[in-house]
């Protein structure tokens, strides 16, 4: 086998402007460099960490050499190949994708002094922080790095240590007059002669002073050892849920599987898949959208795993213990990993793992701006991973995303119907200007009398309000795109702005207004009508939410609980929203409202015969999906085409000039550009959005990568790329 003369190295620098670079492999390193190895290289005279993503027999026009190979830090070549595929599909820089697969907390400890100059305050071999080196050397730091006098030192978080008591060899001391020390020693023997001191002191009726006295007598030794990873042992095996076990058997065959099942059954389904993986000698990776959902799934998994099998949670808030879980998963000693999106690309030590995505359509499965992770939905990461590793993937959702449901090759298991379904009352609000109907108010009053609880769903921040006619309920639409116009009469797709209108073009009514009832307005109306202030559940705020008979809240926190009755005061702001996925979100929210209601669901609307509304309250997802997928196919939207959103931060004139001079000329045939238009409010006042659309998803992603590469080299602009964005 010919040894490589050069290597392609992806530097761990988060920018679109820096593709993998070629570096020479010096003779001394040629037998110790391979794909996935972490290396130290120089970029413009400064030390950088990088990952080898390819080997070259020639020099590849490289001029700089690889300086060092980091011992014990390596990604499997298959994991590197997966990261490259993810980078292509996500149109993302390679660095954050690789970091998602690397051990957490990998960073730069500082510099090792190799050749100190006269006047330096450090000795040879001393470790110096980057801040101290920059403060002392200033502009000379670059030359010191380039000449090798300072050597970059990478770091991983040091594992926590715990104190352990270990029996000393030899006969024990005479403890007849020290009963507490004797009790400690007996408890330590019962534990096998070695255990953590905090556990020992909880068990024996003695103090730390007694423990130190035993150590002074030589009866035991007190040691500091690395804390073991927080792996939890199986408690069972209890038999898994029969229906869930059947779904898990499907995933064992490989490929992509969907199981439509109520949200409350998802922990049992994930546990059944984990049990199937462990019984076949494989590992399982279960991914949830939010940290709060991890504990119920971990406990469900423990109940079905046999003793000796292990499960562990994984999320960004675990601190240094996260590294220990990563190592156990990568080594194959951990059986089941239950985590958030931060765990999606962690290498697993055993072949063909089983993957499970809980609550698949949840938008929290995608990393937003400023958050850890890859800006691609977990469903796409799992799809790519299942194909690369030849494992199976099971998606759990009561209402799956259309991006998944319409994907070729997806196999669906027989759906699990809800255990109960509430009575549904649809209130026709046409001709009424009141925010709450008599039916909704009476439902709240009767709940107050009977001691029952009502949840009232208000708008969440971020939904674009459509402009609707209060007479007939029809929204004003863009004549070009046929999408509902947002407040301000602007089209969210083409950016076109319509002139102000005094009357509805359909019925001639002059009562035009933005749809949507905000949470605070609903609380005011209910307080005035009921004579009691309702509770609140919204945006992390909770006011009397546990005891108030009537609680108003935004959808996510409110509908995560169960209520005797649920009221949706304004379904039209969902059904007629300006976003392209408004109807999909509307169906999901109305269906979730029905799942949360024990006895009755009340929906107010000016469109009582809307097919999306009817399908949601009748639990008829297939008919909704057929109709909506047909509409998306006609528009060329995912899953039938590629859509890429590029968000640019900068002054308007700079953004428009950059788009026209850098993006539009580089477009290939078949790729359409829209914009720039002001980005959604969450993007900030200087945010602009460009949409790239193509009938071929791969063509849109390639166009997004080329555009990001060109735009990221333009000073003064910040660039973010999203493939198949949630908000359009």
Measure Cα distances from 588 to 382, 396, 399, 633 in Å: 22, 14, 6, 20
Alpha-carbon gap, residue 144 to 142, rounded angstroms: 5
64 near 24, Cβ under 8 Å? yes
Residue carrying the six token digits 């990563």: 326
Residue carrying the six token digits 């006619």: 469
Q: For residue 312, what is the enclosing H or E element?
A: strand 310-314
Alpha-carbon gap, residue 166 to 188, rounded angstroms: 8
Beta strand residue intervals within 517-641, DSSP E: 535-538, 541-543, 550-553, 563-568, 597-605
* Cα diameter, the chain: 101
Angle at 229 between CA 228 and CA 233, to 5 degrees: 100
- Given this model, what pLDDT does residue 494 score? 59
Instruction: Name the 3-class secondary structure at 297.
Output: helix
- Given this model, what pLDDT does residue 217 score? 87
- Given this model, what pLDDT does residue 204 score? 79
Cα R_g (the chain), whole angstroms:
30
Angle at 259 between CA 307 and CA 345, to 5 degrees: 65
b vs e for 475-504, b when ≥16 Cβ sit within 10 Å of the residue's Cβ?
bbbbeebebbbbeebbbbbebeeeeeeeeb
pLDDT for 305-330, tens place per residue? 998 899 999 988 887 788 889 989 99
- Given this model, what pLDDT does residue 430 score? 79
- In CATH terms, the fold of domain 233-412 is Rossmann fold (3.40.50)
113 near 15, Cβ under 8 Å? no
Alpha-carbon gap, residue 468 to 605, rounded angstroms: 12
pLDDT for 490-538, tens place per residue? 665 556 677 777 777 777 777 676 666 777 778 888 888 887 778 777 7
371 near 353, Cβ under 8 Å? no
pLDDT for 353-410, tens place per residue? 999 999 999 888 887 766 667 888 999 999 999 999 988 899 999 999 998 998 888 9
Residue carrying the six token digits 């006609």: 634
Mean per-residue pLDDT for 559-563?
87
| Per-residue pLDDT at 336 exceeds 90 | yes
Alpha-carbon gap, residue 404 to 414, rounded angstroms: 16
Mean per-residue pLDDT for 242-257?
82
CATH ID of 6-155, from 3.40.1440.60, 3.90.420.10, 3.40.50.720, 3.30.230.10: 3.40.1440.60
Alpha-carbon gap, residue 232 to 302, rounded angstroms: 7
Rounded to the nearest integer, the mean pLDDT of the chain is 83
CATH number listed for the domain at residues 642-723: 3.30.70.600
Alpha-carbon gap, residue 628 to 682, rounded angstroms: 27
Q: For residue 24, what is the enclosing H or E element?
A: strand 21-24
Alpha-carbon gap, residue 285 to 307, rounded angstroms: 19
pLDDT band at 43 (very low <50, low <70, confident <90, very high): confident
Counting runs of H as helices and runs of E as strands, what totals does the chain give? 22, 32
Alpha-carbon gap, residue 684 to 682, rounded angstroms: 6
pLDDT for 185-243, tens place per residue? 888 888 888 888 888 888 877 888 888 888 888 888 999 988 777 888 888 788 877 77
Tell the burial category of 63 from Cβ atoms under 10 Å away from its Cβ (0-12, 13-18, 19+). Answer: exposed
Concatenated DSSP letters of 31-82: GG--TTEEEEEEETTEEEEEEEEEEESS-TT--SBP-EEEEEEE--HHHHHH
Helical ranges in 480-581 per DSSP H: 519-530, 555-558, 572-575
pLDDT for 282-303, tens place per residue? 999 999 998 888 999 999 999 9
- Given this model, what pLDDT does residue 462 score? 34
Concatenated DSSP letters of 467-481: EEETTT-PBPB-TTT
- Given this model, what pLDDT does residue 34 score? 86
- Given this model, what pLDDT does residue 593 score? 92
pLDDT for 70-96, tens place per residue? 887 889 999 999 999 998 888 888 888
| Per-residue pLDDT at 464 exceeds 50 | no
Mean per-residue pLDDT for 29-56?
85
pLDDT for 641-688, tens place per residue? 888 888 888 788 888 888 888 888 878 888 888 878 877 655 555 788
Class of domain 423-618: alpha beta
Tell the burial category of 571 from Cβ atoms under 10 Å away from its Cβ (0-12, 13-18, 19+). Answer: buried
pTM for this predicted structure: 0.83
β-pairing, 21-24 vs 6-11, is antiparallel
pLDDT band at 461 (very low <50, low <70, confident <90, very high): very low
- Given this model, what pLDDT does residue 425 score? 92
Alpha-carbon gap, residue 9 to 49, rounded angstroms: 9
β-pairing, 161-167 vs 194-196, is antiparallel
55 near 35, Cβ under 8 Å? yes
Instruction: Find which of 124-133, 389-398, 455-464, 553-562 is predicted with most confidence, using mean pLDDT.
Output: 389-398
Alpha-carbon gap, residue 569 to 552, rounded angstroms: 11
Q: For residue 707, what is the enclosing H or E element?
A: helix 697-712
180 near 201, Cβ under 8 Å? no
pLDDT for 130-182, tens place per residue? 888 888 888 888 888 777 788 888 877 777 788 898 988 888 888 888 888 88
């Amino acid at each position: 086998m010919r040894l490589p003369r050069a290597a392609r190295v992806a530097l761990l620098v988060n920018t679109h402007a820096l593709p993998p670079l070629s570096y020479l492999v010096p003779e001394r390193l040629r037998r110790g460099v391979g794909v996935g190895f972490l290396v130290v290289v120089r970029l413009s005279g400064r030390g950088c960490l990088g990952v080898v993503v390819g080997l070259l027999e020639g020099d590849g026009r490289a001029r700089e050499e690889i300086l060092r190979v980091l011992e014990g830090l390596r990604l499997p070549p298959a994991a590197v190949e997966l990261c490259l595929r993810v980078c292509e599909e996500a149109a993302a820089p390679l660095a954050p994708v690789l970091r998602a697969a690397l051990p957490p907390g990998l960073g730069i400890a500082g510099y090792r002094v190799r050749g100190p100059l006269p006047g330096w305050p450090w000795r040879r071999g001393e470790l110096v922080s980057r801040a101290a080196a920059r403060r002392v050397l200033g502009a000379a730091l670059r030359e010191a790095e380039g000449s090798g006098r300072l050597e970059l030192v990478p770091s991983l978080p040091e594992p926590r240590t715990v104190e352990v008591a270990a029996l000393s060899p030899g006969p024990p001391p005479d403890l007849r007059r020290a009963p507490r020390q004797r009790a400690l020693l007996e408890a330590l023997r019962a534990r096998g002669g070695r255990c953590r001191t905090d556990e020992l002191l909880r068990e024996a009726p003695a103090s730390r002073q007694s423990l130190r006295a035993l150590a002074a007598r030589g009866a035991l030794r007190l040691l500091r050892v690395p804390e073991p990873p927080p792996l939890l042992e199986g408690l069972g095996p209890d038999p898994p849920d029969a229906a869930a076990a059947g779904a898990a058997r499907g995933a064992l065959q490989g490929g992509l599987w969907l199981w439509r099942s109520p949200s409350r059954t998802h922990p049992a389904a994930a546990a059944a898949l984990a049990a199937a993986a462990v019984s076949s000698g494989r590992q399982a990776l279960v991914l949830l959208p939010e940290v709060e959902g991890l504990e119920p799934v971990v406990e469900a998994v423990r109940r079905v795993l046999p003793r000796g099998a292990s499960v562990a949670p994984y999320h960004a808030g675990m601190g240094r213990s996260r590294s220990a879980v990563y190592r156990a998963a990568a080594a194959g000693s951990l059986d089941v990993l239950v985590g958030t999106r931060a765990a999606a690309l962690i290498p697993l030590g055993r072949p063909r793992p089983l993957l499970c995505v809980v609550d698949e359509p949840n938008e929290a499965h995608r990393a937003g701006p400023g958050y850890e992770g890859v800006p691609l939905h977990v469903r796409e990461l799992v799809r790519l991973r299942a194909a690369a590793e030849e494992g199976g993937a099971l998606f759990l959702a009561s209402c799956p995303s259309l991006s998944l449901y319409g994907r070729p090759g997806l196999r669906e298991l027989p759906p699990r119907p809800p255990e109960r379904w509430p009575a549904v009352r649809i209130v026709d609000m046409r001709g009424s200007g009141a925010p709450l109907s008599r039916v909704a108010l009476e439902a709240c009053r009767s709940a107050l009398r009977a001691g029952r609880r009502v949840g009232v769903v208000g708008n969440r921040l971020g939904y674009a309000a459509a402009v609707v006619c209060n007479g007939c309920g029809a929204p004003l639409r863009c004549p070009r795109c046929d999408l509902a116009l947002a407040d301000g009469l602007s089209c969210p797709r083409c950016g076109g702005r319509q002139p102000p209108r005094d009357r509805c073009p359909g019925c001639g009514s002059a009562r035009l207004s933005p749809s949507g009832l905000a949470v605070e307005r609903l609380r005011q109306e209910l307080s005035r009508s009921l004579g009691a202030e309702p509770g609140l559940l919204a945006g992390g705020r909770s006011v009397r939410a546990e005891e108030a008979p009537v609680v108003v809240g935004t959808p996510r926190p409110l509908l995560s609980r169960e209520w005797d009755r649920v009221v949706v005061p304004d379904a039209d702001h969902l059904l007629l929203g300006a976003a392209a996925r408004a109807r999909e979100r509307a169906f999901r929210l109305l269906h979730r409202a029905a799942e949360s209601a024990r006895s009755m669901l009340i929906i107010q609307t000016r469109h009582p015969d809307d097919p999306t509304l009817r399908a949601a309250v009748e639990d008829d997802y297939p008919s909704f999906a057929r109709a909506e997928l047909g509409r998306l196919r006609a528009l060329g939207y995912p899953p039938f085409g590629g859509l890429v959103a590029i968000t640019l931060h900068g002054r308007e004139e700079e953004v428009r000039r950059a788009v026209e001079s850098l993006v539009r000329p580089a477009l290939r045939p078949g790729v359409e550009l829209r914009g720039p238009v002001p980005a959604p409010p969450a993007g900030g006042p200087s945010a602009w959005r460009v949409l790239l659309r193509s009938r071929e998803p791969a063509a849109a992603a390639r166009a997004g990568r080329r555009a990001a590469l060109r735009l990221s080299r333009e000073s003064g602009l910040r660039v973010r790329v999203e493939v198949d964005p949630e908000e359009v």
